[in-house]
Structure 1
Amino acid sequence: MPIVAWHGVRASQVSVARFREAAELGITVNYTRFSDTETACKALEYAGQAGVKLIVECDALYSDTRREAAVKKLMRYPALEAYFCKDEPLCSEFPTIARMMNAIQAVDPDHYCYANLFPAGPAEHLQALGVATYREYVQRYLNEVPATFLSFDEYPLVTNPGSSVRLIKDTWYEDLEIVADEARKANKKFWAFALTCPHVVYPVPTLSDLRLQLYSDLAYGAQVLQYFTYWTPTVSGDWNYRMAPIAEDGTRTATYDLVKTVTSEIQRLSGVFLGARVVSVRHTGTSVPKGTVRLTDLPEPVRRLETEGSGAVVSQLENQGYTFLVIVNRDPNTAMGLRFEAESRVRQVLKNGSIVPADDITEMTVDPGDAVIYMW
């Protein structure tokens, strides 16, 4: 499973050792902005020695007069993954992004161009984007920009001042529904995020926070996972960025080991998710998130699926001739009771990737944000 570090190893810190440190956490692709092409080339050389790929952003890529020469330099490095073009564009910026992507691809058709979309928001946010609905924003991007995949960011867990209780933004699952649907209709993969750097109202991540974001992304079919951020940004103002896996001074924080743990867990389950086709995504609970569909019918070998508490994401996937049922506790704060009954041919996929028989009747407690996976 590709894992992208946003604001990865800093340009001023590039070395083989630093990229190996990122790889140790589980990073496979590093995104960093470089001011000049020469520094980017040096980073590509070091990253290649560490087995890490780079999404490169540098000033020359934005220049009509310097772009071609920069691409011709960068494209020679085996560690090059892609060219960074834009983060969170307005619709009015789509033509510029398209021209930039087309110009780069004309020189180097073997490496893709990267752009990432805004999440949904209130009416004034959509108006600023230049659309009436979030779906219109995603559709226009896919229609107007020669993107090879669809990426969007949404950091769904927030807290109120003085409280550790996680609240889920009501736009999150609806965004996942829209992005997954539009990517599928366009025959493109979609990429999603987990927040690994707390700031403003976003709390220091726990294992439950990370699991909920990543397993929900995967349940909807995400094929690349992105961490915002790897290195703690140095930004003026009231953002209060802190406690990313790597601190501003380059030392590891407690978040490093936490993210390493969940990344390793995800990679052991890559046989379930990587390359999977989503058959359906449904939700259980007294109420279901806005824009989602309630679970009413069970797949044929499942006799009973009951959840307690806030409810679950229930995703049916197909991969390599098998069907997988992924059940994610949608509550980031409280464990969920699960009662599951199925035919004897149904097996359970454990967190270490091993496959064991599933009991005919199973009652269990699922930790906050965690997932249980069955297959047949």
Structure 2
Amino acid sequence: MGKASFVGEQSFPVGMWVPPPASEISVERYKEIRDGGFTFVIGFREIEDGEETVIKALDCAQANGLKYLVSDPRVKNLALSELSEMGPLVAPYAGHPAYMGHLFFDEPGAEEFERLAALADSYYAHVPDGLAYVNLLPTYAKPPMWGTDTYADYLEQFLSTFKPKVLSYDHYPLLMNKNKPDYFSNLWSISEACRRHGVPFWLFIQTLSFNGKYREPNEAELRWQVNLSLAFGAVGIQYFTYWSPEDWNNETFGEALIRKDGSRTEQYERVKRINNELAVVGPVLQALQPEGMLVCGDKPEGVERVLPSFGPVIALEGDPVISGCFSADGRPDALFVVNRSHDDPAEAVIVFDQAPAVTIRLEPGEGKLVRLRGADGV
């Protein structure tokens, strides 16, 4: 699987959407982003204040070693008869050292894929090293939004038609009084489709309450989302949202990492702690090849296949956990074992074919990396 990170060879991509508004764009604000453990920014409405505002954001990103995805609806809305306009639209930004790519579409239906593929071809003719970024719908969007009968068809059509450098999607699992039942299913579907096509995937983490239906995550729930994503093979993490958005389009939003007045919420420090953990384990997993899952407890709904064993590991026992299995050079190399609960601690036993079993203890939502080289002669 390709592991293009777009943020530097040694960095694990950690992005966010809804950056500081135009009036708050500064080197200091972007330092705050960097200090929170982020590596790239997805633009939002900066273009509404002119190209110079986008350039200012790029400059502030560069000053802090960040990359920046430009959001310009004119690119998203280009018709096939207007492809000649692509070059002039991206030219003001494409040569900037902080430039990462352009946001092409957020949550398209399948009817958009062929047009977006043509736009991407035109874009890459001008910016071969850039990223034509598309973020896909979740499983709970359903057929009228996907534009296909099944989610598997939606993913297959996108991967076959658009041929992304990286696949991004969102799925916000934390409802007011329960979790969405298809969170694991969505992770499974994405990871399997991307494995078949050799495409890396990123996804969004829910940081705030919104629409009166979704709750504000606590730290364990944030960590649970991130670590499950890593276990399923994600090689990029993105947060929805960073700055607290204004209500729009009949949607209402709580507080994210930064309040509307620019002050930090508790979520900033929580995410910073998680991103510090991510900076350690992320690059390790990014360099490995995901091979599938081991499960202790009932198989999560929607996870269609689990491994019976992995290298020297013949079983997981104990409390409900799930483990991503990773190889290097075709040989079993590591497990990333995650507590399936964000409420209760877990104790899991890794059973080896010949070596003594290993017991690990996991706090709610916690994940631990277990290297296998040397175990049972691997």
Q: Same fold (TM over 0.5)?
A: yes
The reply on whether 1:154 has 2:154 as its aligned counterpart is: no
CA distance in 1, matches of 2:341, 2:358: 20
- Which residue is equivalent to 2:252? 240
Between 1:99-108 and 1:83-92, the stretch displaced more is 99-108
Distance across 1 between alignment mates of 2:102 and 2:306 = 41
Any residues of structure 2 matched to 1:98-113 within 5 Å, and which?
A: 98-113=117-132
How far apart are 1:344 and its partner, in Å?
8.8
Q: Which residue of structure 2 lines up, in the alignment, with residue 350 of structure 1?
A: none
* Aligned position for 2:208: 197
Q: Distance in 2 between matches of 1:41 and 1:290?
A: 46
Alpha-carbon spacing, 1:80–1:343, altered in 2? closer, same or farther (3 Å) = same
Match of 1:118 in 2: 137
Structure 1 gap segments, 5+ residues each: 161-166, 346-359
Question: How many residues of Structure 1 are paired with residues of Structure 2 in the alignment?
Answer: 351
The answer to whether 1:132 aligns with 2:146 is: no
Answer whether contact 2:321 2:348 (CA < 8 A) is retained: no
Given that 1:101 and 1:146 are in contact with CA atoms closer than 8 Å, whether structure 2 keeps it comes out as: no
Shift of 1:361: 4.4
Within 5 Å, give how 1:54-133 maps onto structure 2. Answer: 54-61=68-75, 62-63=77-78, 64=82, 66-121=85-140, 125-133=142-150
2 CA distance for matches of 1:198 and 1:313? 27
Q: Is the 8 A contact 1:283 1:294 kept in 2?
A: no
Match of 1:312 among 306, 315, 321: 321
Alpha carbons 1:40, 1:58 under 8 Å: kept? no
Change (3 A) 1:80 1:237: closer
The answer as to whether partners of 2:296 and 2:316 remain within 8 angstroms in 1 is: no
Distance 1:337 1:53 in 2: 39
Structure-2 change in CA distance of 1:302 and 1:110 (3 Å)? closer
The equivalent position to 2:338 in structure 1, one of 312, 321, 328, is: 328
The one-character-per-residue Cα deviations of 1:109-138 (angstroms, maximum 9, x if unpaired) are: 12121001001127xx21332211100000
- Report the Cα distance in structure 2 between the residues aligned to 1:51 and 1:130, rounded to whole angstroms: 39
1:66 deviates by 4.8
97 and 305 in structure 1: CA distance in 2 versus 1, 3 angstrom threshold: same
Deviations 1:223-278 (A, max 9, x none): 11111111111023663312211111211111000000000011111343112211
Q: What is the TM-score when the length of structure 2 is the normalising length?
A: 0.86
What is the deviation of 1:294?
6.5
Q: Which amino acid aligns with 1:315?
A: G
SS in structure 1 at match of 2:257? coil
Residue 68 of structure 2 aligns to which amino acid in structure 1?
L
Aligned residues of 2:94 and 2:101 also touching (Cα < 8 A): no
* CA distance in structure 2 between the partners assigned to 1:281 and 1:147 by the alignment: 25
The answer to whether the Cα contact below 8 Å between 2:259 and 2:265 also exists between their aligned partners in 1 is yes
Aligned equivalents of 1:373, 1:218: Cα separation in 2: 10
Equivalent position of 2:60 in the other structure: 46
Return structure 1 stretches of 4+ with deviation > 6 angstroms.
none
* Paired AA for residue 112 in structure 2: E
Residues 118/59 of structure 1: CA separation in 2 closer, same or farther (3 Å cut)? closer
Q: TM-score, normalised by structure 1?
A: 0.87
Q: Amino acid of the residue matched to residue 371 of structure 1? A: G
Q: Following TM superposition, by how much is the alpha carbon of 1:194 offset from its aligned partner in structure 2, in angstroms?
A: 1.1
In 1, the alpha carbon distance for the partners of 2:145 and 2:197 equals 25
Q: Distance in 2 between matches of 1:107 and 1:303?
A: 51
On the 8 A contact 1:11/1:32 being kept in 2, the answer is: no
1:312 shift after superposition: 1.5
Counterpart of 2:62 in structure 1: which amino acid?
A: G
The amino acid across from 2:253 in the alignment is Y
Which residue identity does 2:57 align to in structure 1?
A
Does the aligned pair in 2 maintain the 1:4–1:31 contact within 8 Å?
yes
Q: 1:281 aligns with which of 274, 277, 293?
A: 293
What corresponds to 2:6 in structure 1? none
Deviation at 1:67, TM superposition (A): 3.5
Residues 7 and 228, structure 1, Cα contact 8 Å, conserved in 2: yes
| Gaps in structure 2 of 5+ consecutive residues | 1-11, 373-378
Hey, what does 2:14 align to over in structure 1?
A: 3
Q: What's the % identity of the aligned pairs?
A: 27
Deviations 1:82-135 (A, max 9, x none): 11100000111223322322222222212121001001127xx21332211100
Structure 1: distance between partners of 2:304 and 2:105: 33
